[in-house]
A and B are shown apart, each in its own frame.
Chain A
Amino acid sequence: MLPYIGRRLLQSVPLLVGVSIIAFALMHLAPGGPLAVYTLNPTITNQDIERIRIVLGLDQPVHVQYFKWALGMFSGNWGNTFFGGRPVLDVILERMPATFLLMGSALSLAILIGCTIGVLGAIRRYSVFDMLATSGAMIALSFPTFWFGLMAIYFFAVKLGWLPSGGMNELGEEGNLLDTLRHLILPVMVLALVITAIWSRYTRSAFLEVMHQDYMRTAKAKGLHARQRLLSHALPNALKPLIALLGIELPALFSGALVTETIFGWPGMGRLFVDALTMKEYPILMGMIMFTALFVIAGNLIADILIAALDPRVRLS
């Protein structure tokens, strides 16, 4: 097991290097270059811009810039923001809890509901329930997330007035858990909807595939009860593709959170990213790309390790 983990860790190094080159190139390839925020500002003189260029080391050759930047990323110095001059890492980390609260709640809810729907659909294939679940999932997948977000705000916040339309807390209610929960409901619902649809489809097909395997017939021929066949034979085998899915779906979860946070004014990393984009805050954008890349790579690594723990055949190859 340990050599396998070591090998997988080594494999993620070139991946990270690749992502870092893209993140770095982004700044230079963007219209207006890295200092667009200053050059487009009429109140800043050319002399000032030249001075900033030298201070930020932008006068040095590109590869030197990259290595200095990469070294900084590695040692925890992610640079400072253009606006406010605060350390980028601090700015990102301070938005992290809000995003993780939103993503974590939506993902747990979606997996719980999606897997249940999927297993029931697989057990009662072609039943009325299965048909409804299938068409429901198709509808959920066919509409864009922002549309669901706007509809949710329109009905639950504007028409019915049950829930707040955005933000994480009412003014002066920061730290009030109940207030946060009330604000959490709509964005979690919207973000979870699409993930639930995806999970119900994947779970259904994973279980259907497993339930027709020969070893399931063997389990029945042994006289095992339906519950035991499901839990000790079908589940571990069906879990494998689902764990892999969890790793693969992480980037989609991030982009979903980005849209949801923007619509609901949720003060998380997704909104930070969108705001940074409009403000040409390249230090934050580069930091965010590296942060999500790290997170996704780590998530896939954990998924692979879990699969290896489940399936002895994976450890060998």
Chain B
Amino acid sequence: MAEAVLRAEKLGVAFRIPGGRTKAVDGVTFELRHGETLGLVGESGSGKTLTSLALMRLLESPPAELSADSIVFEGRDLLGLSEAEMADLRGARLSMIFQEPMTSLNPLMTVGRQIDEPLVRHLGLSAAEARARSEALLARVGIPRPSEAAQRYPHQLSGGMRQRVMIAIALACRPSVLVADEPTTALDVTIQAQILDLLRELQDELGTAILLITHDLAVIAETAHRVAVMYAGRIVETGPVAALFATPLHPYTEGLLRSIPRITRIREAELPEIPGMVPAPGQLPAGCAFAPRCAFADAACHAERPTLMPAEGGREVACWKPRHG
């Protein structure tokens, strides 16, 4: 098994609210291995994006408060780094792409200059060297006529092209970890597939490990090696993609998988859904957070919160009554 390049131990994000603190992410532990893709999946509000911003130490603090036992990246604990040391890593060893390629690029700057910036900052290239490299990167991410495209402004490019530019920026310095926060959510389905293919190709080429954050199980199935399912700020199940999709252990994972629309099922019946809503942070029940929505919950589930327990095949699940168990 490949060595972990990034390991987060008991990562938490809390917000100060009138009369106390509320934990939006709580005790999240996971590791990302060299060259693999770990999918972090969950509904809106489950804490996926907060987790990713916490890793990059990009949370706005205040109001957010980051806590963790450790976040070890390439052998160094990110929690112990100064802001300047962190800035040296960001965009160089540890990169991120965002959900909205529309607003994530500076509208007043040519895309060429935006790709030049990390090259000049981290690799110390001259302006001319950086531009040559930027054009090569634009070509690599599949943008036609790269020297012309480098002169363009973001509003002159399509959504898919902009996300390609974001990928070029993030991978410019060949980072060992790329955090991709819903990279395809704002794009058309056909463009989605192209972007995911591009990420896979570049991953093979550069050996970059990807933390892929999405609410879309289809994207996970297509791209990730392993999955971590998040619910109400905690990881409820992890495991290799194939096994997890074939035999989900947590009732929440099972519910998610069952609620994917399938063409063959259109006329048969209504799409199964998980009843109820994700509880708001600060209003979590005492026991398992999923218990109020769970068809299998009993007194024990409502009484005590399950922790992640090892299961067969290198899997883990936080459930008192796992399925297929």
Q: Is A218 a contact of B122 with CB atoms below 8 Å?
A: no
Q: Report yes or no: A237 in contact with B58, Cβ–Cβ below 8 A.
A: no
Contact A214 B103 (CB under 8 A): yes
- The answer to whether the Cβ of B28 comes within 8 Å of any Cβ in the partner chain is no
**Interface: B92 (CB within 8 A):** yes
**Residues of A within 8 A of B (CB-CB), count:** 21
When the two chains form their complex, are residues A218 and B109 in contact, meaning their CB atoms are under 8 A apart? no
**Residues in chain A near residue B100, CB distance under 8 A:** 214
Cβ contact of B107, chosen from A215, A217, A224, cutoff 8 A: A215
CB distance from A237 to the nearest CB of B (A): 6
The minimal Cβ–Cβ distance linking A56 to chain B, given in whole angstroms, is 54
Partner among B88, B91, B108 whose Cβ is within 8 Å of the Cβ of A221: B91
Given A213-B103, A214-B100: A222 and B108 interface contact (C-beta under 8 Å): no
Within 8 A of A (CB), among B74-115: 84, 87-92, 95-96, 98, 100, 103-109
CB–CB B91/A223 < 8 A: yes
With A221-B58, A236-B108 already in contact, the answer to whether A313 and B153 are too (CB < 8 A) is yes
Supposing A223-B121, A224-B121, A313-B153 touch, asked if A218 and B105 sit within 8 A by C-beta, the answer is yes
Please tell me if the beta carbons of B107 and A313 are within 8 angstroms of each other in the complex.
Answer: yes
Q: Say yes or no: A223-B90 contact (C-beta < 8 A), given A214-B98, A218-B98, A313-B155.
A: yes
Q: B166's closest neighbor in chain A, by CB?
A: A218
Cross-chain contact B103 with A221 (CB below 8 angstroms): no
**Given contacts A214-B100, A312-B153, A313-B155, A221 and B107 within 8 Å (CB-CB):** no
A233 touches B106 (CB 8 A): yes
Chain A 225-268 against B: per-residue CB contact (8 Å), 1 yes, 0 no? 10010001100110000000000000000000000000000000
Task: Tell me whether B58 and A222 are in contact (CB under 8 A).
Answer: no
Residue A311 interfacial (CB < 8 Å): yes
What is the chain A residue whose CB lies nearest that of B95?
A: A221
Interface residue A17 (Cβ < 8 Å from any Cβ of B):
no
A221, B106: Cβ atoms closer than 8 Å: no
Q: Would you call B103 and A215 a contact (CB within 8 A)?
A: yes
- Chain A stretch 191-208: residues in CB contact (< 8 A) with chain B: none
Contact of A182 with B by CB under 8 A: no
Structural contact, B92 and A217, CB atoms closer than 8 A = no
Q: Which residue of B lies closest to A316 (CB)?
A: B155
* Nearest-neighbor residue (CB-CB) of A235 within chain B: B108
Cβ contacts under 8 Å, A49 to chain B = none
- Interface flags for B36-52 (1: CB within 8 Å of A; 0: not) read 00000000000000000
Whether B118 lies near A237 (C-beta < 8 A) is no
Residue B169 interfacial (CB < 8 Å)? yes
Question: If the complex has contacts A217-B58, A217-B104, are A222 and B153 also in contact, measured as CB distance less than 8 A?
Answer: no
Provide the residues of chain B in CB contact with A225, threshold 8 Å.
84, 87, 121
Give every chain A residue within 8 A of B107 (Cβ-Cβ): 215, 237, 311, 313
Say yes or no: B98 contacts A223, CB within 8 Å.
Answer: no
* Min C-beta distance of B306 to chain A, whole Å: 35
Cross-interface CB contact of B108 among A223, A224, A228, A237, cutoff 8 Å: A237
Contact yes or no, B96 A221, CB < 8 A: yes
Given contacts A214-B98, A217-B58, A313-B155, contact A222 B91 (CB under 8 A): yes
For B166, what are the chain A residues with a Cβ–Cβ distance below 8 Å? Answer: 218
In the assembled complex, the Cα of A233 lies from the Cα of B108 at a distance in Å of 8
In contact, B117 and A222 (Cβ under 8 angstroms): yes
Which residues of B have CB within 8 Å of A219? 106, 117
Name B119's closest neighbour in chain A (CB-CB): A222
* Contact mask for chain A residues 295-317; partner B; CB cutoff 8 A; 1 contact, 0 none: 00000000000000011110000
Q: How far is the CA of A311 from the CA of B106 in the complex (A)?
A: 11
CA distance in complex: A313, B122 (Å): 30
B196 at the interface (CB under 8 A from A): no
Against A, the Cβ 8 Å flags (1 = close, 0 = not) of B47-80 are 0000000001010000000000000000000000
Q: Tell me, yes or no, whether A124 is within 8 Å of chain B by CB.
A: no
Residues of A whose CB lies within 8 Å of any CB of B are: 213-215, 217-225, 228, 232-233, 236-237, 310-313
What would 28 A/B residue contacts be, using CB atoms closer than 8 Å?
Answer: A213-B103, A214-B98, A214-B103, A215-B103, A215-B104, A217-B58, A218-B104, A218-B166, A219-B106, A221-B56, A221-B98, A222-B90, A222-B118, A222-B121, A223-B121, A223-B122, A224-B121, A228-B117, A228-B121, A233-B106, A236-B109, A237-B106, A237-B107, A311-B107, A311-B108, A312-B153, A312-B155, A313-B107
